[in-house]
Chains A and B, each alone.
Chain A
Amino acid sequence: MTLTRKTAAELASSIKSGEVSAVEVTRAHLDRIAEVDGPAESGVHAFLHVDTDSALAAAAVVDQKRADGDELGPLAGVPLALKDVITTADMPTTAGSKLLEGWRPPYDATITRRLREAGIVILGKTNLDEFAMGSSTENSAFGPSRNPWDLTRIPGGSGGGSAASLAAFEAPLAIGTDTGGSIRQPAAVTGTVGVKPTYGGVSRYGLIACASSLDQAGPCARTVLDAALLHSVIAGHDPNDSTSIDQPVPDIVAAARKGADGDLSGLRVGVVKELGGEGYQAGVEARFNDAVALLSKLGAEVVEVSCPHFAYALPAYYLILPSEVSSNLARFDAMRYGLRLGDDGTRSAEEVMSLTRGAGFGAEAKRRIMLGTYALSSGYYDAYYGQAQKVRTLVARDFDAAFAKADVLVSPTTPTTAFPIGEKVDDPLAMYKNDLCTIPSNLAGNASASFPCGLADEDGLPVGLHVMAPVLADDRLYRVGAAVEQAYAAQWGGTLLEQAPALDGRRGESATADRGVVS
């Protein structure tokens, strides 16, 4: 098996045993990126920036440490794709926006620092919707990423680049950020694993804010164990982030290993009544129902739960998010860094700000800035922002009530499979509905994840199983995810991604590409 097809856990153990060097592993992934990522107009386009030199240098440090007999961390030497909304002192950080094109932050995000300290090799920065706002990467100022399952389709968003890099075997690990589903929805539509930890579980310091009260960074991988290993590297209290939780992180790696036994007896699984039905693709519902049946077969007790206020989650989210966005994005004003237009000595600072922001922000960013500015305006605040915050409380109470009846909740991750690029760009509301199932967890701050659960019959594209756990019970996600994963692996004879078509470049590498749909 080629190095790029291995899991992160396998790679780490091969590196540790000396079977392969970290430099070889890194080089293999850089080669794969060179093969399939470009050109930007037609390739996967998962990456906005690849830093060959610094990746190889970081890998060489791991090899040297091993040679010196130093203790290596559980993911040392494993390559990773970092969403380009997280600051890196040695690479540009654009947030997918023209406003930050070429900006080199003077500091590493806490996540970046922890990755480096763990010996993880950062290959480069992945594409995203501008300032992480979107569900398709079509809002990136640098062109969309493409879904490795079908390059004419979206890889999800905003973290489409990270998910696509995993599905295209360009990296075994990636970091995403999830404000309304930006880790989970791309995971679902690319057949990968994506976990949104409990809000405050992973530091936001150095994560360029979309909506501060909703943003949460988390692990993306091709297997549940890999996600757990990465999660434990980045999680934990950070004194630089006031909203970071100062409590021990649950043992998620142990939970993933336990879940792999495939025994879910004693676990109560709640199916959320409101997350399904009208507007859900038939193939998505079918795979979801199969997954629920599987959970039952694995010993879980399946119950139906009702979360009546989830119906208001989407509108509330689209008031809270733009409100915070309108304030968070105010700093991009051409004064200190980034794009500056019209500074010809005749214009005032205000005019330069206005010109730069007018030309620098894309349509979706502008739409949300305007919505948010309006929602916070005096006279409208109570009716919009204030009401939305009340809904947020009600959504959290729905979760509390549901978690009294069930240990985890499940739903489809997205109402549909990956849609064609361009299909929804002119219909923001249709685009927003992608996040119907994922948004409630951002509002309530609890942990959620998406795991592959098969392919939709009508289009042969991946479907995600959405699992929700209470605040600080992230370990439950991994137990369920790992149990489901091993059961499906037995059914499918491997991971879902092995059913993905081979990409141009070195065709035929995907040995099981034409195996057909298995469910």
Chain B
Amino acid sequence: MTVTTALPTFDEAIAAFEPVMGMEVHVELGTATKMFCGCSTTFGAEPNSQVCPVCLGLPGSLPVVNRVAVESAIRIGLALNCSIAEWCRFARKNYFYPDMPKNFQVSQYDEPIAFDGWMDVTVDAETYRIGIERAHMEEDTGKSLHVGGATGRIHGASHSLLDYNRSGIPLIEIVTKPIEVPPAVAPAVARAYVTELRELIRALGVSEARMELGQLRCDANVSLRKAGDPYGTRTETKNVNSLRSVERAVTFEIRRQAAVLSDGGRIVQETRHWHEDTGETTSGRTKEEAEDYRYFPEPDLVPVAPSREWVDELRGTLPEPPAARRARLQAEWGFTDLEMRDVVNAGAVSLVSATVEAGAPAGGAKKWWLGEIARVANERGVALEDAGIAPADVARVEELIAAGALNDKLARQVVEGVLAGEGGPDVVVSARGLQLVNDDAALGTAVDEAIAAQPDVADKIRGGNLGAVGALIGAVMKATRGQADAKRARELILERLQP
């Protein structure tokens, strides 16, 4: 393995070489049933509880194409500005692996359902057009669980368990054309592409596209060349399963390949594994060892021939493109480019949008999702949408603030409570006793006590020094353990100490 310390910096690497990238993204469709059978696709069920003769590949069973999956594939293709095949077939990809019950995967080979499209992505206000080579349909494999080893990998395991619940879940694989962008932005463009694709998939409603659940998986192909040279040998880094990892993995691979090439070495065409912990890739299977998949048309399925009427009908169902939607929302929300970029990078566009739709001001919605909620989600290692608070909850908190029932400090405690699973905002407010003290009787007592305790401050205020009011408000807040309505407290103090 390459010694990390010997790697050039990214800037050094791109000073000598130009990277060319290619992204392969697998999207697990959110269809109710699997690609070729009627089994449920619900995530997290008991192992092997969502299986049947077809997705177990039992002798004699036959596949039948899920029409909704084809529809999703066509919509993805259209949203990526692809041509939709008038006639295409499935193909068998033959290789042996225990998590594949038939020892072939039904996929598409030289006749993808969608091909030749593009998607624009923006990095630092610069727009880059990413060419889409193809989008094709295939079935997912089962999952292996290797037991008894230290690493959870097959080496060293005492035995393996197989779960076929995932077997046959519909996948769409989206493959880009070679991506050639200014070297300095290459890793950022790769990340922006996956981010944008994820937004698009979500906007289409065909998948939740959650990377942490494996619903969107990314393989990154990287090669280097001297400016003007033909393409260099590429590596394919697998298992790049977060947006941040996409950028890091591409960066690492550029630096690693630059080191090899600068040393006069050659790049081996191989798959590489990405390691989130070390931020490195390690060698997997080389091309020489690679399988010959012996693709041939799947004889158990008839060709897919979507009518032009159907394709046009589906074209009519496409959502607003993510970029247009973002521009519209940014204008509606009155955010600066920088503010909007933060929301996009946090993957919070839809959450903020939903919160605004539930009645909250955009600034408040952004503050919560990118602040307190993001912090907790990050701590727990979950996605924002899984942090345990709904857009409607956030909007309710904002509503309570506007009504004067909560101040910022109390509101934060309410959000904390909701995130901790204590219930909705109103439940947390009453359970924790977080109502703002703003009735004049209770507040008046605290004000009187504060004035009595600090007569010199009171004198200053009587003398016209309004800057001194803060000290008395502080004392009131302290006495009410932060639950006083500061604005009302100020009014009461001034009433009593009118010069």
B294 pairs with A373, CB closer than 8 A? yes
Of B57, B63, B102, the contact of A242 (CB 8 Å cutoff): B63
| B92 partner residues in chain A, CB cutoff 8 A | 327
Q: Who on chain B is nearest to A212 by CB?
A: B299
Q: Is A45 an interface residue (CB 8 A)?
A: no
Is the pair A333, B98 in contact by a Cβ cutoff of 8 Å?
Answer: yes
Q: Tell which of B56, B63, B64, B102 touches A239, judged by Cβ atoms closer than 8 Å.
A: B64
Cβ contact within 8 Å between B294 and A350: no
Answer whether A330 and B64 are a contact pair too, CB < 8 Å, given A106-B58, A337-B58, A376-B294: no
| Contact status B59-A204, CB under 8 Å | no
Do B61 and A206 have beta carbons less than 8 Å apart?
Answer: yes
Tell me the A200-230 residues at the B interface (CB within 8 Å).
Answer: 204-209, 211-213
Q: Which of A87, A333, A353, A377 touches B60 (beta carbons < 8 Å)?
A: A87
A14 and B56 alpha carbons, distance in the complex (Å): 44
Whether A242 contacts B302 in the complex (CB less than 8 A), given A106-B53, A333-B96, A373-B294, comes out as yes
Output the least CB separation between B198 and chain A (Å): 32
Quick check: is B160 within 8 A (CB to CB) of the other chain? yes
A403 at the interface (CB under 8 A from B): no
- How far in angstroms is the closest Cβ of chain A from B156? 12
A326 contacts across to B, CB distance below 8 A: 94, 294
Residues of A within 8 A of B56 (CB): 336
Contact with A along B291-335 (1 / 0, CB 8 A): 010111001111000000000000000000000000000000000
How many residues on the B side are at the interface (Cβ–Cβ under 8 A)? 29
Q: Is the CB of B58 within 8 A of A107?
A: yes
- Complexed CA–CA distance, A109 and B61 (Å): 8
Is the C-beta of A510 less than 8 angstroms from some C-beta in chain B?
Answer: no
Interface size on A, residues (CB 8 A): 44
Are B98 and A385 within 8 A (Cβ)?
Answer: no
Question: Is the Cβ of A378 less than 8 Å from the Cβ of B292?
Answer: yes
The listed residue (A87, A207, A242) touching B64 by CB distance below 8 A is A242
Q: What A residues does B104 contact at CB under 8 A?
A: 327, 330
Chain B residue contacts of A109, Cβ below 8 A: 60
Cβ of B364 < 8 Å from any Cβ of A? Answer: no
CA distance A103 to B104 in the complex (A): 22
A95 at the interface (CB under 8 A from B): yes
**Which A residues are CB-close (under 8 A) to B65?**
242
Bound form: Cα–Cα A486–B295 in Å? 50
Contact with B along A91-109 (1 / 0, CB 8 A): 0010100001001011101
Whether A242 lies near B98 (C-beta < 8 A) is no
Assess whether B101 is in contact with A336, with CB atoms less than 8 Å apart: yes
A241 at the interface (CB under 8 A from B): yes
A242–B297 CA distance with the chains assembled, in angstroms: 14
A residues in contact with B162, CB < 8 Å: 335
A512 at the interface (CB under 8 A from B): no
Q: Considering the chains assembled together, what is the distance between the CA atoms of A205 and B103 in angstroms? A: 19
Per-residue CB contact flags for chain A residues 255-283 toward chain B (1 = under 8 Å, else 0) read 00000000000000000000000000000
Cβ–Cβ contact A377 & B292, under 8 A: yes
The reply to whether B60 and A376 contact each other, CB–CB distance below 8 Å, is no
Which interface residue of A243, A330, A376 has the most chain B CB atoms within 10 A?
A: A330
A431 near B: Cβ within 8 Å?
no
Q: For residues 290 through 318 of chain A, which have their beta carbon under 8 Å from a beta carbon of chain B?
A: none
Closest chain A CB from B101 CB (angstroms)? 6
- B62 interface residue per 8 A CB criterion: yes
Partner of B59, one of A93, A239, A353, A373: A93
- B371 nearest CB across to chain A (Å): 49
**Binary contact track A434-475/B, C-beta < 8 Å → 1, others 0:** 000000000000000000000000000000000000000000
Rounded to whole angstroms, the CA-CA distance of A353 and B95 in the bound complex is: 13
Given known A327-B94, A330-B102, A336-B101, contact A86–B299 (CB-CB < 8 A) = no
**Shortest Cβ distance from residue A16 to the other chain B in the assembled complex, whole angstroms:** 33
Q: Are A331 and B294 in contact (CB under 8 A)?
A: no
Encoded as 1 (CB less than 8 Å from any B CB) or 0, chain A from 76 to 119 comes to 00000000001100000101000010010111010000000000
A64 at the binding interface (Cβ < 8 Å): no
A201 to B: closest C-beta gap in Å: 15
Contacting residues, chain A, for B94 (C-beta < 8 A): 326-327, 330, 376
Interface centre among B61, B160, B302 (most CB of A within 10 A): B61
Q: Contact check, A242 vs B62: say whether CB atoms are below 8 A apart.
A: yes
User: How far in angstroms is the closest Cβ of chain B from A88?
Assistant: 10
A87, A205, A242, most chain B CB atoms within 10 A: A242
Q: Which residues of the partner chain B approach A323 to less than 8 Å between Cβ atoms?
A: 296
A residues 333-355 near B (Cβ < 8 Å) are 333, 335-337, 349-350, 353
Report chain A residues within 8 Å CB of B53. Answer: 105-107
Q: Are B96 and A330 in contact (CB under 8 A)?
A: yes
* Residue in chain B with minimal CB distance to A333: B103
What 0/1 pattern do residues 99 to 117 of B give for CB contact below 8 A with A? Answer: 0011110000000000000
> What's the least CB distance linking B153 to chain A, in Å?
13
- Report whether B301 and A242 are in contact in the complex, using a CB–CB cutoff of 8 Å: yes
Whole-angstrom distance between the alpha carbons of A269 and B102 in the complex? 44
**What chain B residues lie within 8 Å of A330 (beta carbons)?**
94, 96, 102-104
Say whether B101 contacts A331, CB under 8 Å.
yes
Complex: A373 Cα to B101 Cα, angstroms: 19
CA distance A356 to B96 in the complex (A): 14
Give complex CA distance A336, B142 in Å. 13
**Contact indicator A240/B59 (Cβ below 8 Å):** no
Cβ distance B94 to chain A, nearest Cβ, rounded Å: 5
Cβ contact within 8 Å between A206 and B60? yes
Q: In this complex, what residue of B is CB-closest to A205?
A: B62
Q: Which of A86, A95, A105, A373 contacts B58 (CB 8 A)?
A: A105
Judge whether A492 is part of the interface by a CB distance below 8 angstroms: no
Which among B63, B101, B299, B301 is the interface contact of A324 at CB below 8 angstroms? B299
Most buried by A among B98, B101, B162: B98
CA A260 to CA B235, docked complex, whole Å: 71
Interface set, chain A 34-90, CB cutoff 8 A to B: 86-87
- Give bound CA distance, A69 to B96, whole Å: 55
**Separation of A336 and B103 alpha carbons in the complex (Å):** 12
**Chain B residues in 8 Å Cβ range of A419:** none
A381 on the interface (CB 8 Å rule)? yes
- In A355-409, which residues have CB < 8 Å from any B CB? 373, 376-378, 381, 385
Quote the shortest CB–CB distance from B60 to chain A (angstroms): 4
Q: Are A241 and B58 in contact (CB under 8 A)?
A: no
Q: Are A205 and B292 in contact (CB under 8 A)?
A: no
Interface centre among B102, B103, B104 (most CB of A within 10 A): B103
B294 touches A327 (CB 8 A): yes
Q: In the complex, what distance in Å separates the CA atom of A349 from the CA atom of B62?
A: 26
Q: Determine the distance from Cα of A72 to Cα of B295 in the docked complex, in whole angstroms.
A: 48
User: Complex: how many Å from CA A387 to CA B292?
Assistant: 20
Complex contact A243–B300 (CB within 8 A): yes
Whole-angstrom CA separation of A337 from B58 in the bound complex: 9
Within 8 A of A (CB), among B354-399: none
In angstroms, Cα B292 to Cα A178, docked, is 31
A327-B92, A330-B96, A333-B96 known; A242 vs B300 contact (CB < 8 Å): yes
Contact residues in B for A385 (Cβ distance below 8 Å): 296
Q: Which residue of B lies closest to A99 (CB)?
A: B59
Chain B residues whose CB sits within 8 angstroms of the CB of A350 once the complex forms: 96
Smallest beta-carbon distance B258→chain A, Å: 32
For A206, the chain B residues whose CB sits under 8 A away are 60-61
Contact A105 B60, beta carbon cutoff 8 Å:
yes
19 other contacts beyond A242-B65, A324-B296, A331-B101, with CB at 8 A cut-off?
A: A87-B59, A87-B60, A93-B60, A103-B59, A106-B53, A205-B60, A240-B64, A243-B62, A327-B104, A327-B296, A330-B104, A331-B59, A331-B103, A333-B103, A335-B162, A376-B296, A377-B292, A381-B296, A385-B296
25 A-B pairs whose Cβ atoms sit less than 8 Å apart in the complex:
A87-B59, A93-B59, A93-B60, A95-B59, A103-B59, A107-B53, A107-B58, A204-B62, A206-B60, A209-B60, A211-B299, A241-B62, A241-B64, A323-B296, A326-B94, A331-B57, A331-B59, A331-B103, A335-B98, A335-B162, A336-B56, A337-B58, A349-B160, A373-B294, A377-B294
Give the top 9 A-B pairs by smallest Cβ distance, nearest first: A330-B103, A376-B294, A212-B299, A213-B299, A206-B60, A208-B59, A87-B60, A208-B60, A331-B102
